Structure 1
Amino acid sequence: MECSGIHRWRIKDTGKGWKWKEACALEAFKMKRTKIGFVTGYTGAILKLLGKATSELNEQGYPIEVQARYQAVEIDDEFWDWLKNEADVIVVNVHSCHENYNVLKQVLSEVNVPVFSVEYGGEPLSKNVEPEALATLTGYFMYSGLENIKNMLLFLANYCGNIKLEVPEPKEIPWHGIYHPDAPNIFDSLEAYKKWYKKSKGWNRHTIGILFYRDHWIEDDTAVCDALIRAIERRNVNVIPVFSYLGMKVGMKEWGIESIDIAQKYFMDDDKPIIDLLISLQGFYLVSRTIGEWVDPTTEGMDILKRLNVPVIKAVTPYYKTIEEWRKSSEGIDALTAAMDVMMPEVDGVIEPIVVGASEKIEEATVGGTFDKREPIEEQVEFLVDRCMKWIRLKYLPNKEKKVAFVLHNNPCAGAEATVGMGFGLDTIESMVRILHKMKEEGYDVGDDIPETSKELIDTILSRKAISEFRWTPISEVVRKGGAAALLPKEKYLNWFSELPDKVKQEIIETWGDPTDLSKEQSEDANWAKLSMGLYEDKIVIPGLKFGNIFLCVQPKR
């Protein structure tokens, strides 16, 4: 009988469990206690695996103690002292961007025990270890999973000379695949997944893909992804949730893994997209290349989007905010999340970043640390999926029925006439004319009188006074010259206004005046409110031009 499947000692099976446990305990009695210290970055969710692995090994009689901390939270002095004075071996997987990085470097400089550094940015921190041993440990850590983490701890105890056993090599675990919370296993092909899905849930007309991190799957941190899956399926839409190590191109040269095109393998069937839309839970670029401690985009990301030819919606989970902190925050997401989950994906063409979850702090009592676990914000999940459904509806709507609005920029600190269509280094008016003509070719309803040149378009905007400038241009003149694209009844606006939260209503009143109290004809406040609303004969003037189903306007005052 093999002991728990984690090492290669064999003992005769007597058929009586107590003798087997006693035998394991006798072997453990010969072992020396091993104290292992961990400092880890990213989400710190591996602390959950470390805790479970340590508990199971202790139950099996292995005297292993693990103390682990997540780099992104404040680390107590007691832990740093424990690393310096008690740890037999230290493992770090950290990034230099965190404030405690220099403290960690100082601590490591003062210890003489083996230090294994699994790199993902920054300078090498390993010391007192052979390259072969570092490569083996990195294999356990990167492949991850409970079995690999348990064997990693045994490997470290063995490396320190505190136990003597032959530990299995790191077990290969998939770098990518299709996941579903109801499935008995992951799938390495679209064909196998579709077969299971059709049998279990049927197959509907529309399909949404999800791209999320492998780490979230391997570390059981899929709550946000699961919430998206459930919300999509409640709308009778198929879902294909795919995990990858990073982005749409998975390749690990150092592990001998060939580059895999995620889009081609999981989101296309017979070289045609099988999905109507993709939700990305990943940050960075769709295809990245590592440059030092950071990543740069490649043109491959845009090439993949062209082949898929579907909208890619960005689902955001802030890195360093809890759900409560996010709700109370006036700024929304933090700067790092804005950079990695909004700006970088937009380089490829990923759109509509919407917060769907946040990080909740979880304590791992066995290893003494706290880590981040992603939890969904249910109403935000529903909002994002509703947006997805509207995008899918738009996909199948004939072009001639689609209604499109274009908003031209103008400088809020200058007269609208001087800055219509302003764009640094861009001829936005000429671009607008070309877009209108291209839309006509594609079957959109653009009416019969679209401008032929940029001069004709800008002259039309200015001559009709189709601008949001009511201080110097009488509202009656905007209407008389044809610059009002629509007249919205005041009562309809007031109904919308009444549905706003009280805080928002008060901010509007303080900035633009009170739209509900216009009775004081001569009061300054009432006149300002009327002016800011653009009231004409009890209707709100919406300046702009209409070309069939196309609405073109200048950015309103703000």
Structure 2
Amino acid sequence: MILEKDANEKLKGPNAPIVGLILQRSHIVTGDESHYVAVIMELEAKGAKVIPIFAGGLDFSGPVERYLIDPIMKKPFVHSVISLTGFALVGGPARQDHPRAVEALRKLDVPYIVALPLVFQTTEEWLNSTLGLHPIQVALQVALPELDGGMEPIVFAGRDPRTGKSHALHKRVEQLCTRAIRWGELKRKSKAEKKLAITVFSFPPDKGNVGTAAYLNVFSSIYSVLKE
């Protein structure tokens, strides 16, 4: 605990990592925002600064460009971004505009995590399910955001069966915030400071099939990646 506190103290101040949060307006105006508050409090407790934004509709590219990017220097104010909406950046679940979203994210040019609250299941239903996340939610809130460039789709909030409101899953919120800060720290490092790990395909295991792939030259490809 002392080591963790010391590490958090080092993050604070002018060099503290800055994390942008994309929030859904409907959760805020209806008072269903406890899971948002939990993420903000956890990030700040870990020593990060937070810039939360939301849009009037389901196009979040405008607020991203207006509030997370310096209009003069054309550089981001933040080191990483978490979308807590679970939606694609532009269009939400009903309509997606991936080219526009990709354009906005390229301007932002920081790690972009799309976390998601449970929508089609209560917390208990999700925990007891052998399938895990509902297939519809996988399609709408995992697959579609990944087309924009979203990564690490961590479920960070559950849903109460009586009220229907969201509540934070605290261990997952902690994991999410830790990942966002570490991605932000990685973004700030020079290329020479970064370490790269490459996982080599090997299936079936123990059959001498390390690096095998159908009609692909695995080791030549790895060499090309490392050279680049």
Return the TM-score normalized by structure 2.
Answer: 0.82
2:35 is aligned with what amino acid?
Answer: V
- How has the CA–CA distance of structure 1 residues 312 and 361 changed in structure 2, closer, same or farther, with 3 Å as cutoff? same
Q: 1:317, CA displacement in angstroms?
A: 1.2
How far 1:203 moved relative to its partner?
6.4
Which residue of the partner structure matches residue 8 of structure 2?
Answer: none
Identical-pair percentage = 30
Determine if the alignment matches structure 1 residue 388 to structure 2 residue 197: no
Distance of 2:48 and 2:179 partners within structure 1: 14
| 2:38 counterpart of 1:230 | no
What whole-Å deviation, never above 9, does each CA across 1:182-222 have from its counterpart, x for those lacking one? Answer: xxxxxxxxxxxxxxxxxxxx866321011121211221111
Counting only pairs closer than 5 Å after superposition, residues 106-505 of structure 1 correspond to structure 2 as 205-244=16-55, 245-249=57-61, 261-269=62-70, 270=72, 271-288=74-91, 294-363=94-163, 372-412=164-204, 415-417=207-209, 420-422=211-213, 429-438=219-228
CA distance in 2, matches of 1:390, 1:423: 35
Note closer, same or farther for the CA distance 1:300–1:420 as it changes in structure 2 (3 Å cut): same
Q: Name the SS of the counterpart of 2:182 in structure 1.
A: helix
Quick check: which has more Rg, 1 or 2?
1
Q: Is the 8 A contact 2:98 2:147 kept in 1?
A: no
Give the CA deviation at 1:351. Answer: 0.6
Runs of 4+ that moved beyond 4 A: 413-416, 426-430
Counterpart amino acid of residue 337 in structure 1: Q
Q: Distance in 2 between matches of 1:209 and 1:375?
A: 21
Distance in 2 between residues matched to 1:338 and 1:289, nearest whole Å: 14
TM superposition shift of 1:230: 0.4
- Confirm or deny: 8 A CA contact 2:114 2:153 kept in the other structure: yes
**Cα distance in 1, alignment partners of residues 37 and 155 from structure 2:** 15
- Structure 2 vs 1, CA of residues 318 and 268 (structure 1 numbering), >3 Å: closer, same or farther? same
Distance across 1 between alignment mates of 2:16 and 2:35: 24
- Distance verdict in 2 for CA 1:284–1:315, change over 3 Å: closer
1:241–1:427 CA distance, 2 compared to 1 (3 A): farther
Q: CA deviation at 1:399?
A: 2.6
User: 2:47 is paired with a residue of what secondary structure?
Assistant: coil
Q: Give the distance between the partners of 1:413 and 1:204, measured in 2 at CA.
A: 45
Question: Which whole-Å CA distance do the structure 2 matches of 1:263 and 1:346 have between them?
Answer: 17
Counterpart residue identity of residue 65, structure 2: Q
Q: Distance in 1 between matches of 2:87 and 2:32?
A: 19
Number of residue pairs matched? 214
State the Cα deviation string for residues 501-543 of structure 1 (Å, max 9, x = none): xxxxxxxxxxxxxxxxxxxxxxxxxxxxxxxxxxxxxxxxxxx
* In structure 2, distance between residues paired with 1:306 and 1:414: 42
Please give the alpha-carbon distance, in whole angstroms, between the structure 1 residues aligned to 2:156 and 2:92: 27
Shift of 1:326: 2.8
Q: What is the correspondence of 1:23-42 to structure 2 with a 5 Å cutoff?
A: none
The CA deviation string for residues 381-439 of structure 1, in whole angstroms up to 9 with x for no partner, is: 0111111122122223333332211113344389553x735268x7654442221111x
Structure 1 residues 239, 434: closer, same or farther in 2, change over 3 A? Answer: same
- TM-score, normalised to structure 1's length? 0.35
Distance 1:402 1:214, change over 3 A: same
Instruction: Supply the distance in 2 between the matched residues of 1:296 and 1:380 (Cα, whole angstroms).
Output: 27
Q: 1:296 to 1:392 in 2, by over 3 A?
A: closer
Shift of residue 289, structure 1, vs aligned partner: 8.7
- Residue matched to 1:444: none
- Residue-by-residue CA offset, 1:88-119 (whole Å, 9 max, x unaligned): xxxxxxxxxxxxxxxxxxxxxxxxxxxxxxxx
Separation in 2, partners of 1:318, 1:206: 28
Q: Mind listing any 5+ residue stretches in structure 1 that lack a counterpart?
A: 1-201, 250-260, 364-371, 439-558
Secondary structure of the corresponding residue to residue 299 of structure 1 = helix
In the alignment, the residues of structure 1 paired with residue 106 and residue 92 of structure 2 have an alpha-carbon distance, to the nearest angstrom, of: 20
Q: Match for residue 446 of structure 1?
A: none
Structure in which a larger fraction of residues adopt strand:
1
How many Å separate the matches in 1 of 2:222 and 2:200? 9
> In 2, Cα distance between the equivalents of 1:298 and 1:342?
14
Instruction: Measure the CA separation in 1 of the matches of 2:41 and 2:14.
Output: 15
Q: Distance in 2 between matches of 1:248 and 1:309?
A: 15
Q: Is the Cα–Cα contact under 8 Å of residues 356 and 378 in structure 1 kept in the other structure?
A: yes
The aligned amino acid for 1:403 is K
Q: CA deviation at 1:320?
A: 2.0
2 CA distance for matches of 1:351 and 1:239? 19
Q: 1:307 to 1:429 in 2, by over 3 A?
A: farther
